[in-house]
């Protein structure tokens, strides 16, 4: 029975990749760029924070 579920899952993944492959790659690129920009902004904000003495 697990063979049937695995085969159906593989078929669904294949169809989705064939149909939406370009959109998935574009969305992945946008997500990666956003993560990199967000990480750079976060690192800058942490590095430029003043330490309070007292």
3-state SS, residue 10: helix
Structure tokens at 33: 């760029």
Give the single-character DSSP code of 48: T
In a domain, 3, yes or no: yes
Residue 32 is predicted with a pLDDT of 98
3-state SS, residue 24: helix
Residue 53 is predicted with a pLDDT of 73
What total of structural domains would you count in the chain?
1
Cα 33 to Cα 31: distance, rounded to the nearest angstrom: 5
In a domain, 13, yes or no: yes
Structure tokens at 16: 């989705």
Q: What is the domain range of residue 17?
A: 1-48
Cα 36 to Cα 33: distance, rounded to the nearest angstrom: 5
Residue 54 is predicted with a pLDDT of 63
Kindly report, residue by residue over 3-47, the tens digit of the pLDDT: 999 999 999 999 999 999 999 999 999 999 999 999 999 999 988
pTM of the model as a whole: 0.64
């Amino acid at each position: 029975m697990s063979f049937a579920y695995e085969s159906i899952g593989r078929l669904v993944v294949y169809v989705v990749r064939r149909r939406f492959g370009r959109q998935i790659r574009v969305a992945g690129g946008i997500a990666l760029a956003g993560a990199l920009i967000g990480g750079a902004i976060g690192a800058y904000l942490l590095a430029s924070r003043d330490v309070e003495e007292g």
